[in-house]
Amino acid sequence: MTTPLVVTNNTPVSHLLRIGQLPLLGLLFGRVLVPAQVVDELDRGQHVLGAWREAPGADALVVAAPLDGPFLRQLLVQLDPGEAAAIALAVERSASLLLIDEVDGRKVGRRHGLRMTGTLGVLLEGKRQGHLGEIRLWMDALSRQGFHIGAALKQHVLAAAGEA
């Protein structure tokens, strides 16, 4: 059986790190490719993010730089460097899944045929596979950390988790 290739942008890593759930990435996906530009963003992060390399679960993150070419440069016109690099890497490596939260990045990823999920999707899969208890608790933890979850999305995720 082939292990799926998963690429991540900054936000799923940073949000999972803030709530102590970075190990979910390794539990769910084995290894996750992180473009060098995303690593730069994480390294520049404040307090907890700056120490991401030592966090439990960080060993599942593998640094990989996308090719520097016209596709990446085209994406940089529309997106920030981390989002552009994550999408470029996912396309170049034919990734099975891209982890990304940003709406603009998802729109671009969709145009390039990428399968995507975000922080909430990772938590939901963690619950489905038995790694998490109530997802509501983790969504509340994300909200306390400044992650905005609209009412409709919250209800959708809770229903999908069997907690509605």
pLDDT single digits (tens) 148-163: 999 999 999 999 999 9
26 found inside a domain: yes
Domains of the chain: total: 1
Q: Average the pLDDT over 74-93 and give the result.
A: 93
140 found inside a domain: no
Q: What is the domain extent for residue 111?
A: 6-132
φ/ψ (deg, to 5) at 140: -65, -40
Contact by Cβ (8 Å): 17, 52: yes
Structure confidence at residue 50 (pLDDT): 63
120 found inside a domain: yes
121 found inside a domain: yes
With cut-offs at 50, 70 and 90, classify the pLDDT of residue 69: confident
- 3-state per-residue secondary structure call for 76-124: HHHCCHHHHHHHHHHHHCCCCEEECCCHHHHHHHHHCCCCEECHHHHHH
62 found inside a domain: yes
155 found inside a domain: no
With cut-offs at 50, 70 and 90, classify the pLDDT of residue 44: confident
Domain of residue 50, CATH code: 3.40.50.1010
Round the average pLDDT of the chain to a whole number and report it.
91
Q: What does the pLDDT look like over 126-151, one tens digit per residue? A: 999 999 999 999 999 999 999 999 99
Distance of CA 18 to the CA centre of its chain: 13
50 found inside a domain: yes
In the chain, pLDDT over 70 holds for what percent of residues? 95
More confident site: 37 or 53:
37
83 found inside a domain: yes
SS3 7: strand
With cut-offs at 50, 70 and 90, classify the pLDDT of residue 48: low
Q: Average the pLDDT over 23-28 and give the result.
A: 96
Full-model pTM: 0.92
